Amino acid sequence: WRGQRQKIMKIKINEIFFSLQGEGTQVGIPTTFVRLFGCSLRCSWCDSMYAVEGDDYKEVKVQELIADIEKIKCKNICITGGEPLHQKEELVFLTNILLEKGYRILLETAGHIRPMDIFKNSNVLISMDCKCPGSGMDKKTNLSLLKELEAKDQIKFVIKDLKDYEYAKNIVLKNFFKAQVIFQPVYGSNLESLVNMVLKDNLNIRVVPQIHKIIWGDIRGV
């Protein structure tokens, strides 16, 4: 019965497209993006609200989604949202098949839901947010989940202003994380100011702006 159910299992997807990875440690790598639909958070700076609420999605069989992914002929996959971990069973099924087919996966998640064990696979990079006050969702972050991440993974702080920077700095200095730490400025904020603060405080982190927005602007599907 489980096998039969998996054959007809459907997943809510907002969009699929081919572009450069614009964020984090894999920045600049050609990637197929699979944007799943739905999220329980409402970050103030969210740039994909169309994948968070409303009806801009379709339910497709997981096998049909995989067929669409294979047409793009790129072995790097970014599963994003929304919040992909809201569709747990469907996501595990999708991920398992992709790994069997030799894909390398980056999972983007918001830091309030524990990723399933399949994402410990060495061919998966978990990119987990630590929400800062500027998002309005800082109380939702589960620090224990960030501490569970491995050296292959990354923790992303989206920095809007000085308050966000001081908040992020405090967490980085007071906690030990095995994962790599990224400070990502909100698009349109002062990148130079953020870099200068990081250098002044000599933080052991990376500053990585969203290069896809530098190239194409804040538009959908890139």
* pLDDT of the residue at 145: 98
Percentage with pLDDT > 70 across the chain: 97
Q: How confident is the model at residue 176 (pLDDT cuts 50, 70, 90)?
A: very high
For the chain, percent of residues with pLDDT exceeding 90? 92
**Is the model's pLDDT at 1 over the cut of 60?**
no
CA nearest neighbour of 11 among 52, 58, 53: 58
Q: Supply the pLDDT for residue 4.
A: 57
- The whole-number pLDDT of residue 153 equals 98
Helices (H), the chain: 2-8, 62-72, 88-100, 143-148, 162-174, 191-201, 211-216
Give me the phi and psi of 87, to 5 degrees please.
-110, 65
CB 111 within 8 A of CB 133: no
201 three-class SS: helix
Q: What is the pLDDT of residue 6?
A: 65
Question: What gap in Å lies between CA 156 and CA 24, rounded to an integer?
Answer: 8
Tens of pLDDT, residue by residue over 30-82, are 999 999 999 999 999 998 999 999 999 999 999 999 999 999 999 999 999 99
Please say if the pLDDT value at position 12 is more than 70: yes
pTM given for the model? 0.94
